[in-house]
């Protein structure tokens, strides 16, 4: 169910012709649904982590869409949003003791920094 919802949101954002506002609304709703799943599935390790991954990846999709909507063609705004997301992933990984979130946040920040400098 979690993977299906995330696949549906990716499909809506990248393979349909709906407006960006509708895409952002649907992504926001998915973040709320994933957040409720995270809260409900807190004791179940694997399913909890899958819901958490769905939530943060949907948040990443939302922030990229928001950066594109707010400042089309301005890469600096996108980089700022990406660094904020990476920082959030690192903090979340440290708080919940999930090493893969911290590693993903660090690698994401390094890749973003690489593309910023090139």
22-63: pLDDT as tens digits = 888 888 888 888 888 888 888 778 888 888 888 898 899 899
pLDDT attached to residue 91: 96
The structure tokens 């169910």 sit at 1
The mean-pLDDT minimum among 44-48, 78-82, 103-107 falls in 44-48
Averaged pLDDT score across all residues of the chain: 88
What single DSSP character describes residue 73?
T
pLDDT reading at 94 higher than 80: yes
Instruction: Report how far residue 24's alpha carbon sits from residue 9's, in angstroms, rounded to the nearest whole number.
Output: 10
Residue 25 has a CB neighbour count (10 Å cut-off) of 13
Q: How far is CA 59 from CA 12, 52, 74, in A?
A: 15, 10, 20
Domain ranges of the chain: 1-70, 73-118
Rounded to two decimals, what is the model's pTM? 0.81
Residue 2 has a CB neighbour count (10 Å cut-off) of 17
pLDDT attached to residue 112: 94
Query: Which pLDDT band holds residue 101 (cuts at 50, 70, 90)?
Result: very high
Between helices 20-40 and 2-15, what is the axis angle to 10°?
170
User: Are 51 and 38 within 8 A, CB to CB?
Assistant: yes
**Helix, strand, or coil (residue 116):** helix
């Amino acid at each position: 169910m979690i993977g299906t919802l995330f696949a549906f949101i990716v499909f809506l954002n990248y393979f349909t012709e709906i407006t960006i506002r509708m895409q952002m609304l649907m992504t926001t709703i998915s973040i709320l649904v994933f957040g409720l799943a995270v809260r409900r599935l807190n004791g179940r390790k694997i399913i909890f982590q899958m819901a958490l991954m769905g939530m943060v990846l949907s948040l990443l999709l939302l922030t990229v869409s928001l950066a594109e909507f707010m400042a089309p063609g301005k890469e600096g705004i996108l980089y700022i949003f990406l660094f904020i997301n990476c920082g959030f992933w690192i903090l979340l990984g440290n708080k919940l003791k999930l090493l893969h979130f911290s590693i993903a946040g660090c690698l994401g920040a390094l890749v973003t920094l690489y593309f910023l400098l090139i």
